[in-house]
Amino acid sequence: MNGAAIAIDARCQTSMRNVWAIGDLSGEPMLAHRAMAQGEMVAELIAGHSREFNPVAIAAVCFTDPELVVVGKTPDTAQQEGLDCIVAQFPFAANGRAMTLESRSGFVRVVARRDNHLILGWQAVGVGVSELSSAFAQSLEMGARLEDVAGTIHAHPTLGEAVQEAALRALGHALHL
């Protein structure tokens, strides 16, 4: 055991041969998409493939009003790990799609390493931001830097433009502020 959870290794293997544990009983984060990814991996392991469960980040979303998304490191967790980071925030008050949705409150925030601009985390608050969680997770899994997101053309008017603007702002180039 690992506290109240069943102890597993990076392949969800338990201390018993040919017994794997996935999902909530294997501990935090207790999220459906983590459980599903673990289950898929274990099925592939049993089928003889070589796999390991080693995500850079697993998105946490609160389906509240407004919605909240946290992916990867926050400014606090980055600081606790002794990382020198740039933190930049872009408000939905300056985002065209948020205006058409009549919900200008909230923001997108990015955390990136100061030395090489590697993106370490995203946080967002606002209407519909759960839909941004995929882009956040993708950027972390792909090892994106601020320049990658800032240099990607984002469709207008979308909430995603606030993601690009947060990256631009971290680089000192925000257009709509």
Ligand X SMILES: Cc1cc2nc3c(=O)[nH]c(=O)nc-3n(C[C@H](O)[C@H](O)[C@H](O)COP(=O)(O)OP(=O)(O)OC[C@H]3O[C@@H](n4cnc5c(N)ncnc54)[C@H](O)[C@@H]3O)c2cc1C
Q: Closest separation between CB of residue 23 and ligand X, Å?
A: 2
> What long-range pairs does 101-106 form, CB within 8 A, spacing at least 24?
101/127, 101/128, 103/66, 103/127, 105/66, 106/66
Rg (CA), the chain: 18
Site for ligand X contains 19 (CB under 6 A): no
Site for ligand X contains 113 (CB under 6 A): no
Site for ligand X contains 35 (CB under 6 A): yes
Residue range at the interface with ligand X (CB under 6 A); choices 22-30, 72-80, 95-103, 118-126: 22-30
Residues 44-83 that bind ligand X (CB under 6 A): 63
Q: Report the residue count for the chain.
A: 177
Q: Closest separation between CB of residue 59 and ligand X, Å?
A: 9
Residue range at the interface with ligand X (CB under 6 A); choices 25-33, 85-93, 123-131, 144-152: 25-33
